Amino acid sequence: MSYPASLQKLIDLFTKFPGIGPRQAARLAFFITKDENSLAESLASALIQVKEKTVICKNCFRTMEKNLKDLLVCSTCLSPGRNKTIITIIEKEADLINLEKSGSYNGLYHLLGGVISPLDSDSPRKLKLREMFDRIKDILEGQGQAEIILATNPTTEGDTTALYIERVLLPLKNKYPRLVISRLARGLSLGSELEYADETTIKSALDNRTQRT
């Protein structure tokens, strides 16, 4: 006994989402099948629109709304009020939104798009590390100084990623002594993620960041 082919196809698609296993995928698919409020139609149109109307900033890699001028760089990266020599390295978009909400940060961001998993030797290649390196190198060549704030989360993967980045940046550090690398303070308790931290905690983690090199 198996599901109807169209339903099975939807289940298979849902399992491609991060954190969704086959059972959860089946629950979602059945929910849509049984829904009577045109959720499927709304979802289908939202899925198409989000692809049509958003682009990734080619500088920091956050998702941004497409604009009339067809700019490929986001408003944060373009803002004249931002300190362009400070870059905070973050794992994912939700962390960026929360850091931004704290209102205590005035530099730019670099979205890695994930973390290094100690169990997956291929994981560094999936992150925007090369782009990060080139970006920091450009700033140093132009300004002679830069501050990098490592804001990966206080998890095993976040720590592994932060250490990896420090190693990646070592040649730049050797060439440019005015490259400062710091890490968000552990005001964030072990295992707690930026995405869920409140504004006061984020502010204290930023204020008390520890200099690495």
**Nearer CB in complex with Zn ion: 57/136:** 57
The phi, psi pair for 113, rounded to 5°, reads: 85, 25
**Nearer CB in complex with Zn ion: 77/140:** 77
Is 115 one of the binding residues for Zn ion (CB under 5 A)? no
Is 149 one of the binding residues for Zn ion (CB under 5 A)? no
CA nearest 96: which of 80, 75, 71, 125?
Answer: 75
CA nearest 62: which of 123, 110, 132?
Answer: 110
Applying CB under 5 A, which part among 15-23, 53-61, 152-160, 179-187 lies near Zn ion? 53-61
Beta-sheet pairing, 210-211 with 179-183: antiparallel
- The total of other beta-carbon atoms located within 10 Å of residue 7's CB is 15
Beta carbons of 208 and 187 less than 8 angstroms apart: yes
Is 59 one of the binding residues for Zn ion (CB under 5 A)? yes
Q: Helices 22-34 and 5-14 sit at what angle, rounded to 10 degrees?
A: 130
Lookup result for tokens 């909400």:
101
The correct pick among 10, 11, 25, 77 for binding Zn ion (CB under 5 A) is 77
Is 87 one of the binding residues for Zn ion (CB under 5 A)? no
CA nearest 205: which of 197, 165, 213?
Answer: 197
- Cα-based torsion angle of the residue sequence 182, 187, 191, 193 in order, rounded to the nearest 10 degrees: -80
The correct pick among 57, 116, 146, 181 for binding Zn ion (CB under 5 A) is 57
Is 74 one of the binding residues for Zn ion (CB under 5 A)? yes
Residues in the interface with Zn ion (CB under 5 A) total 5
| Least distance to Zn ion, CB of residue 73, Å | 6
| Least distance to Zn ion, CB of residue 50, Å | 18
**Nearer CB in complex with Zn ion: 82/137:** 82
The correct pick among 10, 11, 29, 60 for binding Zn ion (CB under 5 A) is 60
**Nearer CB in complex with Zn ion: 28/72:** 72
Residues that bind Zn ion (CB under 5 A): 57, 59-60, 74, 77
